[in-house]
Structure 1
Amino acid sequence: MTLGFQYLRSLLYIFQIYVAMLVLGIVFAPYALLSKNGARQACKTYARWAIWSARWMVGIRSEVRGTVPTGEVIIAAKHQSFLDILIIFNALPQAKFIMKRELMWTPIIGVYAKRLGCIPVDRGKRGAAITQMVQDVAREFSEPGQLVIYPQGTRVAPGAQKSYKVGSGVLYVGLKQPCVPVATNVGLLWPRSGILRKPGLGTVEFLDPIPPGEPRDVFMTELETRIEARSDALMAELGFDKDELRRID
């Protein structure tokens, strides 16, 4: 298969998943406005369609490893592209996300995120944003679910280094819940930006939970070590050598 043909397939795939988002968003709107379950079913339907169509349109297969949590836990996940969001949301029974505030004002995504109980964060305000996040989480946790946070705060390209932010530790200490780290390699197939989608097996892996009660600094060190080590291992399965990239850089 030529690169040009794969690029064309990728372009068509991207176009159709945005069309599907619009169509499903409108079709499910009455149900979603009446029921949070309706909003969740709409988003699950979209996630499943995007994952399934990625397989036959651009050759990206998806796999979930590890034990998927079903109770009230914090999910601290490596974030490389939109695909890991789709896979994680589809796998979890009642996921709600910590997400940047700007997304809450986007058509379709913002409306459904609010209905799911996602927590907006203003990344520019730092300390004030963390305080507000904790208050919002406490309010939203009147309903059970799995709270998904991206410890690095944004999508990070494979091989790139970005520090882990304190927000994950604040929630871990404040909520006194187990935290399930999540590793992934999907950024090698579906990049954080650009059009080209590459065929292969994209994996999201739920790791063993970190029980509540650890000091925040200890928790943060363990979280980063486990997520990064396992993500590197998953990327190595696709032939990616992080150390080689560092030498090249």
Structure 2
Amino acid sequence: MTYALRWLISLLFIGQMYLAMLVFALAYGPYALISRNGAWAGIHAYCRWVRLTARWMVGLRSEIRGTVPVGEVLIASKHQSFFDIILICSVVPRPKFIMKKELRWTPLLGFYAWRIGCIPVDRGKKGRAIAEMRKAVAEGARIPGQLIIYPQGTRVAPGAPLPYKVGTGLLYQQMQQPCIPAATNVGVFWPRHGIYRKPGLAVVEFLPAIQPGRSVADFMAEVERVIETASDALMAEAGFTYPRPA
């Protein structure tokens, strides 16, 4: 199959993916308004649809490795593209996110984020944002589930360096819950920007829990080490390698 044809199929896949988002959001909307379980049901159904159509249309298979978190935990995940969100939300029972504050006002998406208990954060205010985030997390504890945070704060292309932010460690310290690191290679196939989607096997891997009780500095060093090491291994498995700085 030529690159041009794969690009066109990728475009069609993306178009139907966003159309499906609208359809699923409206279909599950009344249930979501009545019950938070309806919001999670709609999210699970949509994410599984995207995984199915990615495999069928562009040849992008997907796999979850490790033990899927089901209790009250913090999930610290590598974030390379929209597809790692899809994979995690397709299997985690009650996902909720630390998310950009602007997303609260996005039609439908903002409604579902509110219903599942996502924590909006103004990323541009640094110290104030951390204080607001910790307060919001404490208030949001009444909605049980798995809180997902991206330690690097944004999508990061495969091989691109970006520091891990201390906010993840402060939440770990505050919540006194196990933290499940999650590694991925999805950016090899589904980039942050652009249309083209590559065929292959995209993986999210849940790693062994980091138990509560460590210092923030010790936790941050450990979570970065295990996520980066496992993500590098997954990307190498997918045929992507890059030189690590000495």
If the TM-score is normalised by the length of the shorter chain, which range does it land in? over 0.9
Is it true that 1:44 corresponds to 2:44 in the alignment?
Answer: yes
How far off is 1:152 after superposition? Answer: 0.2
Distance in 2 (alpha carbons) for counterparts of 1:139 and 1:198: 41
Distance in 1 (alpha carbons) for counterparts of 2:105 and 2:158: 29
Distance in 1 (alpha carbons) for counterparts of 2:89 and 2:137: 18
Distance in 1 (alpha carbons) for counterparts of 2:68 and 2:118: 20
How far off is 1:193 after superposition? Answer: 0.8
Hey, what does 1:66 align to over in structure 2?
Answer: 66
Hey, what does 1:180 align to over in structure 2?
Answer: 180
Q: Indicate if the aligned counterparts of 2:182 and 2:206 stay in contact, CA closer than 8 A.
A: yes
Is it true that 1:11 corresponds to 2:16 in the alignment?
Answer: no
Distance in 2 (alpha carbons) for counterparts of 1:103 and 1:8: 29
How far off is 1:69 after superposition? Answer: 1.4
Is it true that 1:32 corresponds to 2:32 in the alignment?
Answer: yes
Counterpart residue type for residue 115 of structure 1 = R
Question: What SS does the aligned partner of 2:222 have?
Answer: helix
Q: CA RMSD in A?
A: 1.2
How far off is 1:89 after superposition? Answer: 0.9
Question: What SS does the aligned partner of 1:243 have?
Answer: coil
How far off is 1:32 after superposition? Answer: 1.1
**1:85-234 maps to which residues of 2 (within 5 A)?**
85-234=85-234
How far off is 1:66 after superposition? Answer: 0.6
Distance in 1 (alpha carbons) for counterparts of 2:101 and 2:126: 13
What TM-score, normalized to structure 1?
Answer: 0.97
Runs (4 or more) in structure 1 with deviation over 4 Å come to none
Aligned residues with identical type, % of pairs: 59
Q: Which runs of 5+ in 1 are unaligned?
A: none
Distance in 1 (alpha carbons) for counterparts of 2:26 and 2:177: 36
Q: Which runs of 5+ in 2 are unaligned?
A: none
Distance in 2 (alpha carbons) for counterparts of 1:29 and 1:23: 10
How far off is 1:28 after superposition? Answer: 1.5
Distance in 1 (alpha carbons) for counterparts of 2:185 and 2:211: 25
How far off is 1:143 after superposition? Answer: 2.6
How many pairs are equivalent?
246
Distance in 1 (alpha carbons) for counterparts of 2:143 and 2:39: 15
Hey, what does 1:54 align to over in structure 2?
Answer: 54
What TM-score, normalized to structure 2?
Answer: 0.98
